[in-house]
């Protein structure tokens, strides 16, 4: 990373001459230093202009206007306080079974992601893979799974398996592999090789190396990322329900389609409570394990 031009201190030429005892071309060195400082300043100006141009272009292409933002905010406030509130709690029974399905989908999808991601994570980690080619192929598969959003996986799984929680669970599992496998592989590559080599030097098997040299260092990152995926799955499961992949989102979509916004408000409130519950639970689990 280049230093800001203002931080490059160029002393006076006479002062430089006093501190240089060897017979060198001081004038040439001094001119080169000034030229470098000017080059850094020019590069910073070019970068600033590029960023400014991108911001201006994005602003124009998206049609972003502060007046629209102001009027839209007023419309949103009107919708919330006149149409969405107060929630119709008489319909809460309709959301109980879909809410349970959402939690179960998230949990099973997380377990699926963890198991498959562990395999791909070890295969993709450069310091633990069986062969460099296997590592490259594993990274490619992980990148593909990560490139496809959970919503797209949901559409594909609904087309393959039909409507219902099973399609949503598979979609959550596949999208989770792309996230967790990359995270696991990155964590494994950053482990202290000294501890691993110490175990390997005793003639330990691959599984013993993993258990004694890898797992103690890997455990914290593994637990943290796995529990984070459970938290993320709750949000994604609610969205997948909008396309018929089961869960509370299905009832939420039905309520919105029928303009039953106060009933939809109950679903939104339940999703919020589920997220809070999962965050509290995962925090407690993390404290106990770590």
Structural Rg of the chain based on CA atoms: 28
| Domain stops at, among 21, 41, 61 | 61
Same domain for 145 and 249? yes
SS3 string of 134-175? Answer: HHHHHHHHHHHHHHCCHHHHHHHHHHHHCCCHHHHHHHHHHH
Residue 173: give its domain's CATH number: 1.10.3720.10
Is the distance from CB of 282 to CB of 231 less than 8 angstroms? yes
d(CA 55, CA 135): 38
User: pTM higher than 0.85, yes or no?
Assistant: no
Same domain for 282 and 152? yes
Structure tokens belonging to residue 123: 């295969």
- Residue-wise burial string across 27-36, b where 16 or more C-beta atoms lie within 10 A, e elsewhere: eeebeebeee
**What percentage of the chain reaches a pLDDT higher than 70?**
87
Residue 41 belongs to domain spanning: 5-61
Same domain for 142 and 20? no
252-to-77, 91, 239 alpha-carbon distances in Å: 20, 12, 10
Same domain for 97 and 209? yes
Q: Positive or negative, the Cα torsion across 140, 124, 231, 96?
A: positive
pLDDT greater than 50 at residue 146: yes
* pLDDT tens for each residue of 219-272: 888 888 888 888 888 888 888 888 877 778 888 888 888 888 888 888 888 888
The structural domain count of the chain equals: 2
In a domain, 70, yes or no: no
In a domain, 130, yes or no: yes
Burial of 153 (0-12, 13-18, 19+ CB in 10 A): buried
d(CA 284, CA 278): 10
d(CA 106, CA 238): 10
Is the distance from CB of 109 to CB of 173 less than 8 angstroms? yes
What string of DSSP letters covers 62-86?
A: TT--HHHHHHHHHHHHHHIIIII-S
* pLDDT tens for each residue of 5-34: 555 565 665 665 555 554 456 666 667 777
d(CA 127, CA 210): 12
Confidence of residue 4 (pLDDT cuts 50, 70, 90): low
């Amino acid at each position: 990373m280049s230093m800001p031009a203002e931080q490059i201190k160029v002393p006076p030429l006479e002062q430089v001459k006093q501190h240089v005892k060897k017979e060198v071309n001081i004038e040439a060195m001094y001119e080169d230093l000034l030229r470098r400082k000017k080059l850094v300043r020019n590069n910073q100006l070019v970068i600033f202009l590029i960023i400014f141009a991108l911001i201006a272009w994005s602003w124009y292409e998206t049609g972003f206007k502060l007046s629209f933002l102001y009027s839209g905010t007023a419309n949103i406030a009107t919708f919330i306080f006149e149409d969405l509130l107060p929630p119709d709690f008489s319909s809460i029974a309709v959301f109980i079974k879909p809410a349970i399905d959402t939690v179960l989908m998230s949990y099973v999808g997380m377990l699926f992601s963890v198991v498959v991601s562990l395999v791909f994570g070890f295969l993709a980690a450069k310091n633990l893979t069986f062969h460099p080619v296997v590592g490259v192929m594993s990274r490619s598969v992980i990148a593909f799974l990560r490139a496809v959003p959970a919503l797209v996986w949901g559409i594909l799984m609904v087309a393959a398996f039909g409507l219902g929680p099973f399609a949503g669970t598979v979609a959550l599992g596949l999208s989770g592999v792309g996230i967790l496998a990359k995270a696991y592989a990155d964590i494994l590559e950053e482990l202290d090789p000294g501890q691993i080599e110490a175990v390997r030097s005793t003639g330990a098997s691959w599984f013993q190396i993993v258990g004694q040299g890898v797992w103690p260092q890997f455990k914290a990152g593994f637990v943290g990322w796995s529990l984070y995926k459970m938290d993320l799955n709750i949000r994604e499961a609610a969205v997948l329900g909008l396309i018929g992949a089961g869960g509370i989102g299905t009832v939420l979509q039905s309520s919105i389609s029928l303009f039953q916004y106060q009933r939809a408000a109950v679903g939104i409130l339940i999703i919020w409570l589920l997220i809070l519950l999962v965050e509290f639970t995962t925090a407690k689990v993390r404290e106990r394990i770590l």
